[in-house]
């Protein structure tokens, strides 16, 4: 996580307001959405730190394609440590041990409601921030519960904050769309690449001062202000910390386009003095 988030003052103000409203009893669900590498997870972690500083309990989960096969896995990540639900997990998971009538058992209303009530009981002691990173990968029963909870948060001191990467298939498109349709528009936060000045601030903070302005500027332009691409190019670039960057020369041009990175789109042109962007594992 970066020590400082650049160019996200509007988004962080929105999050601060949502957390404050929840502490006053008006809960909410919010979503950070953006293309790959725009800083969704970083802003989520920042929100967690902020909530902890304000005395809130933070319960977090990260969804992954590999764990989509585990029903209620994400709910367990979130609530597994809550004393209010600890005794129920054996019973809850037992319902999923065997496929039922040719398909998986879906959580029934009493179970969904009981899990919500557990959150409500815990939130009466301390306001809660629930975070879910990469909601598009959440297993279906957990996604059903997240939607269920989000329709019952209004009078609870609870915030549910999730991230979603654009353009990725969801574990259950119908449930995800329903979850997103329930969002208040001002709580659906779209993260774009950084503005040129914020990207320049990030690049300068990573490179240190005293480096060629032109080279830093070219690097920023070459990455389009995408924080992930910018960070990776600086991390894998030559002698970043030991010497000044090579100033952009007229004969360098914009450099060749890099290979596809984790964006799945062609990499950005390599900045002068930098290798083309390397694919992320
Ligand atoms: N606003 C920012 N200021 C400084 N650094 C940032 C900012 N946003 C992201 N970064 C850096 O960019 C990189 C990618 O950020 P992050 O992993 O949060 O992106 P993401 O949107 O969650 O990516 P993904 O789509 O893969 O989930 C990280 O190294 C992070 O530290
Ligand atoms: Mg992320």
DSSP 61-119: EE--GGGTTSTTHHHHHHHTT-TTTGGGHHHHHHTTSS-BTTBPPPPPHHHHHHHHHHH
Give 65 Cα–ligand 1 centroid separation in angstroms. Answer: 20
Quick one: pLDDT at residue 15?
98
261 CA → ligand 1 middle, Å: 15
DSSP code at position 126: S
With a 6 Å cutoff on the Cβ, whether 228 touches ligand 1 is yes
Identify which of 32, 43, 228 to mutate to test ligand 1's pocket (most ligand atoms within 8 A of the CB): 228
Domain ranges of the chain: 9-191, 194-281
pLDDT digit string (tens) for 96-123? 665 555 566 677 888 899 899 999 999 9
Neighbouring C-alpha atoms within 13 Å toward the C-beta of 112: 18
- Please give the C-alpha separations between residue 187 and each of 23, 56, 107, 143, 215, in angstroms, as whole numbers: 17, 19, 28, 18, 37
Class of domain 9-191 as given by CATH: alpha beta
Cα–Cα distance, 11 to 76 (Å, whole number): 28
Q: What are phi and psi of 73, to 5 degrees?
A: -60, -40
> What residues in the chain have per-residue pLDDT under 70?
1-3, 86-87, 95-105, 209-212, 238-281
Q: How far is the CA of 31 from the centre of ligand 1 (A)?
A: 16
């Amino acid at each position: 996580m970066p020590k400082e988030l650049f160019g996200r003052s509007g988004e962080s103000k929105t999050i601060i307001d949502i957390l404050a409203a929840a502490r006053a009893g008006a809960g909410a669900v919010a979503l950070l959405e953006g293309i790959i590498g725009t800083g969704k997870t970083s802003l989520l972690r920042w929100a967690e730190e902020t909530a902890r500083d304000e005395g809130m309990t933070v319960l977090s989960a990260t969804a992954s394609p590999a764990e989509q096969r585990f029903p209620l896995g994400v709910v367990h990540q979130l609530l597994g440590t809550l004393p209010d639900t600890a005794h129920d997990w054996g019973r809850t998971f037992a319902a999923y041990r065997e496929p039922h009538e040719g398909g998986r058992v879906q959580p029934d209303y009493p179970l969904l409601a009981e899990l919500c009530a557990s959150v409500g009981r815990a939130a009466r002691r301390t306001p809660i921030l629930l975070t879910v990173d990469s909601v598009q990968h959440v297993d279906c029963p957990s996604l059903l519960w997240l939607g269920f909870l989000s329709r019952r948060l209004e009078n609870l001191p609870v915030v549910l904050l999730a991230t979603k990467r654009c353009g990725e298939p969801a574990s259950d498109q119908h449930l995800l769309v329903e979850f997103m349709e329930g969002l208040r528009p001002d709580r659906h936060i779209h993260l774009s690449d950084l503005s040129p000045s914020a990207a320049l601030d990030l690049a300068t903070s990573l490179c240190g001062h005293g480096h060629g302005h032109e080279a830093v500027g070219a690097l920023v332009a070459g990455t389009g202000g995408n924080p992930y691409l910018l960070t990776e190019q600086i991390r894998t670039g030559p002698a970043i910390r030991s010497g000044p960057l090579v100033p952009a020369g007229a004969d360098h041009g914009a450099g060749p386009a890099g290979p596809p990175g984790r964006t799945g789109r062609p990499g950005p042109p390599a900045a002068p003095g930098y290798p083309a962007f390397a694919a992320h594992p």
